[in-house]
Structure 1
């Protein structure tokens, strides 16, 4: 039966768009639903500031009367102006089948839409900004996903390649089994740095405290990062900082939060650095019967000037204080293999026997 594509034009269509993945991935091992409140907010032009500087099109694919796929096209005008390029993006791509009968009309629509607006290439999956999930999983399907990543069908990357899409960039995640005892030289390294007065570990005991620390840390991202360090990076304004803060505060456990306060190594300015250990304890995980002791730890942000210092800041006593009474079985550091700062963290990860467990690709076609 022929597949037809039409735009999302009403709230009922948007509901179908948001909840389609749950239907398509029913019974798919390790797939977890998103936070649906966030999905409604992200796709509401009245609540998501990104719509003010992005052109968008939301699509549903129908086979007969049934919905067989979805996709979103995005043109971030602010990013394109900053980078002096003409690129569009596809995101939220889902299809019920791997025979191209659904993917082809969806991607045809977005590609034609982008060309009509003068775009020269399309990348994806990539959302409004680098803060949204990006990249299709190509390795590590046996591991549960994190809050900030896609979990696609295994056939999806090959389907894009058949259509002529090529690798634009890839990134990887590392899995860490948290030990009972940390290496002694890490204690000594941390104490040396602390005695020099360059570093202070600040314990965060509540979400209210976390909110106070997080605002300056998120704003510091604009000064610390650029496109050469984080693929697709786009500076955030105050409204976007507040929006991102609300999204992550909902899933933070205060027992796994701490801050690092110190002086900049390069410009002598005092700055607050917030390192968030995000505990992904979704109700959906409990419904799937996964162990409650499985915790996903993610270092979310760390400005480049503090990376070397952070190598000595993994104080076992501090970490044990936050994990007391809670069994932590795994931890993950989200790391793009193109991030310049990450190369300073890799030796630290290796001390904890970190191993690469997942790989994602962002694709491109001209």
Structure 2
């Protein structure tokens, strides 16, 4: 077996093609777009390179055929906020061969150790944790856009190597055809109409205002978190720009108190329902196909990716009020029959309670693992978020 750093176009193609090879006959798999994955490893496209570095490798057999891959990265804004400097590994794929898997893990570990890291989390993303984060261990069904899908045998690879579960990630599904409970809607409507509170949805015509509102809420809601790093406004601008024509404006909601933004709620159409027909390619003809399926209302599921409320207002039931407005918006688009509420960490009981109170059913579980290089050092799971000083966020890490 040969481990090769990905540096040229042919190696990049091998890295991308491996997932198509491994999941060729799996109807649940939606291949991520090649451009999206390549963009993560492009300093011109990924703002995390401003405060970090990344590398990726492909593993080949004696015939030069790809049999595994992995990436490693260091986010210096976050690496030193833990008990030990911690990097990450991700985009792991491998044939069912433990020797090959361990060689990939060793390669990532050694690269991180050479750069002063003392632990690695995985599989994670060199970016925000709402995409490509965690190992699927339960619920091997079609994943929402951004949520990773894996081979069932990967769990044994990670745990046999010595990774331990740092936190669990849950995805809930809500059957829109059944509607929300009458009790929940009654309470939510009452909260939504309280004096001094206003709710409005995103509008592309005034996108810069809403982008700044997201930044303000985000920074206020999570500044107390042990591993908090401010969100990059350019990342939000990029998402808004690329999402024009795809995002539903009234699926992104904001709450205000006396004119001040206090919460936001982002829901995105599940593009995987179309992308699984594209096999990771988005050339001219596939772009035409994409917008054809989009116009035909092929997408029937939306994924809630993030929800935030500043601490001062988290006991006001703002989340319920936003769900109320979201529910009213979805009623006008009956082709959306399902909501995926993902992901929420096991360390965030408040969000779990909210998801369950609206009727969400836990359908999928991902694990984020941590591997300590010093095998004698005591392992600590991520702590539960105290209610008194945390904003509400589903995918908080």
Return the TM-score normalized by structure 1: 0.84
Verify the 8 A CA contact 2:303 2:342 in the aligned structure 1. Answer: no
Q: How many residues align?
A: 350
CA contact (8 A) 1:98 1:159 kept: no
* Mapping of residues 61-100 of structure 1, within 5 Å: 61-63=59-61, 64-83=63-82, 85-95=84-94, 97-100=95-98
Shift of 1:254: 2.9
> Please, what TM-score do these two structures have when normalized by structure 2?
0.78
Contact 2:305 2:342 in 1 (8 A): yes
C-alpha change, 1:166 and 1:234, in structure 2 (3 Å) is same
| CA distance, structure 2, for counterparts of residue 85 and residue 249 of structure 1 | 41
Give CA-to-partner distance per residue, 1:193-245, whole Å, 9 cap, x none.
344323222144x544456423421443122125848xx65322333443454
Farther off after superposition, 170-179 or 123-132: 123-132
Alignment partner for residue 275 of structure 2, among 271, 275, 284? 284
Corresponding residue for residue 51 of structure 1: 49
1-structure distance, mates of 2:334, 2:206: 21
The one of 225, 233, 238 aligned to 1:238? 233
Among 4, 8, 11, the residue aligned to 1:10: 8
Q: CA deviation at 1:323?
A: 3.4
Kindly tell me: are residues 149 and 119 of structure 1, through their superposed partners in 2, closer, same or farther at Cα, counting changes over 3 Å? same
Structure 2: 5+ residue stretches without partners: 280-292, 373-397
**1:327 corresponds to which of 312, 323, 335:** 335
User: Contact 2:262–2:309 (CA<8 Å) still a contact in 1?
Assistant: no
1:100-130 CA-partner distances (Å, limit 9, x unpaired): 1321221111111222222211111112244
C-alpha distance in structure 2 between counterparts of 1:83 and 1:47, whole Å: 27
What is the alpha-carbon distance in structure 2 between the residues aligned to residue 357 and residue 214 of structure 1?
A: 31
Aligned mate of 2:170, from 169, 172, 175: 172
Q: Which residue of 1 aligns with 2:222?
A: 225
Task: Give the alignment partner of residue 27 of structure 1, picking from 22, 25, 34.
Answer: 25
1:266 is matched with which residue? Answer: none
Q: CA deviation at 1:90?
A: 0.5
Superposed CA RMSD: 2.9
Segments ≥4 residues shifted beyond 6 Å:
none
Structure 1 pair 6–301 and aligned structure 2 pair: CA distance change class (3 A): same
Q: Which whole-Å deviations, capped at 9, do the CAs of 1:152-210 have from their partners, x for residues lacking one?
A: 10000111111122112111111111245544434442343344323222144x54445
The runs of 5 or more residues in structure 1 that have no matched partner are: 264-268
